Chain A
Amino acid sequence: MIVAERKSIPDLVEILQDHKKILVLGCGTCVTVCLAGGEREVSIISSALRIASNIHGLDFEIEELTIERQCDNVFIEEATDAINRNDAVLSLGCGAGVQALAERYAKKPIYAGLDTAFIGILEDRGIWAEKCAACGACVLHQYGGICPITRCAKQMLNGPCGGSREDRCEVRPDRPCAWQLIYHRLKGIGQLERLTEIAPPKNWEPGHGGGCRVIVREDHRI
């Protein structure tokens, strides 16, 4: 899922200070699961903004709404009335959701209430970790399902680097060494021989370096 975290209340106040009627719009998908922008967080952030508004004399009138998915026009449609009756929208969706709203409502200011962080999973209660860099050319099959691009601080395809200490990454001692994980995983599934192969330089062309990426499926365009 896409993992995000909320911007600070002073940042949100600065973003919204020129508006009075504000819709705080949540998203019921990824950002709900990562506890950043779902129905509950909409209420919490709205409440904090009302308190800040009282203290700073900003006169905010805040409406709350959460739709199923902000990155899909079918669901955005449900928010049309609420968007129209407010001066601005504070989206608690990911960056894709904010831009989907901005593209659809050309004359309405749409602001991001979250910082979209990464594609990851819930590792433990209250801990989310990055697992995928969306590099566009997946190599997971070669590394036992553990991504050296995302989880190795040095993005080594021919690791390990030799700097790990007690299974910890030398760059991020709070994280396990990805290459130790890869070794144990390949050993566990009987594919250790994969480590004898030298991986060629990765093809970064499908990555983000070439600008905005688009996938076209002609079979779905008619």
Chain B
Amino acid sequence: MTNKPLNIVLFYCANALDAAALRKNAGETGADDIKTVSLPCSGKVNLLYLLKAVEKGADGVVVITCHHGDCKFLEGNLRAQKRVEAVDALLFESGLGRGHIRVIQKNTENGVKHIFEEIENFKNQIRVSSGR
């Protein structure tokens, strides 16, 4: 692995995550470039948002949703999960392989800390699969 910086695009539900906490933690992710995109609900994310992020050079895309059962709009987090699965399949078809996109659910007990641990795991997974 070369430890080349990764470009990560992070879509997050504004009801699941506080923008200030996100900025603070995103700043502690080392040399990696993390772009954050706030959504009124993770269900607002659509296939094109996610594909465009990859098309424009993202090595990985993360969608942060509320915990199951906690969505303010009832089923936005469920829709986000389905759309991420659809994009994962499309990226596989396109030749990129699986695992470049994932959903991280907010864990009600560990909050933001848990999310950033998951992002680190995701980045390591991409580094291993792409040899970076």
Contact = CB atoms under 8 A, between A and B. Distances in A.
Interface of A: 8-10, 40, 43-44, 47-52, 55-56
B48 A51 contact: no
A56 B95 CA distance: 8
Contacts of A10: 93, 95
B94 A55 contact: yes
Given A47-B55, A48-B90, A50-B55, A55 B47 contact: no
A188 B47 CA distance: 43
A113 to B, nearest CB: 13
Nearest to A52: B94
A43 B55 contact: no
Contacts of A8: 93
5 contacts: A9-B95, A47-B52, A50-B55, A51-B51, A52-B95
B96 A47 contact: no
B91 A51 contact: yes
Interface residues of B, number: 13
B47 A51 contact: no
B52 to A, nearest CB: 6
Given A50-B55, A51-B51, 9 more contacts: A9-B95, A10-B95, A44-B47, A44-B51, A51-B54, A51-B94, A51-B95, A52-B93, A52-B94
Nearest to A53: B94
B96 to A, nearest CB: 6
Contacts of B51: 44, 47-48, 51
A9 B90 contact: yes
A40 B93 contact: no
B132 to A, nearest CB: 15
A136 B95 CA distance: 43
Contacts of A40: 46, 48
Describe A's contact surface by its main secondary structure: helix
Contact of B93 (A47, A48, A50): A48
A49 B48 CA distance: 13
B48 A55 contact: no
Contacts of B95: 9-10, 51-52, 55-56
Interface string B51-91: 11011000000000000000000000000000000000011
A52 B93 CA distance: 8
Nearest to B51: A47
A65 B1 CA distance: 41
Contact of A9 (B46, B47, B93): B93
Nearest to A51: B94
A50 B57 CA distance: 11
Contacts of B55: 47, 50-51
Centre residue among A8, A10, A44, A55 by max chain B CB count within 10 A: A44
Centre residue among B54, B55, B93, B94 by max chain A CB count within 10 A: B94
Nearest to A10: B93
B91 to A, nearest CB: 7
Centre residue among A8, A9, A10, A51 by max chain B CB count within 10 A: A51
Contacts of B48: 40, 43-44, 47
Contacts of A52: 93-95
B89 to A, nearest CB: 10
A44 to B, nearest CB: 5
Q: Report the 9 A-B pairs with minimum CB-CB distance, sorted nearest first.
A: A9-B93, A55-B95, A52-B94, A47-B51, A51-B94, A47-B55, A48-B94, A9-B94, A48-B90
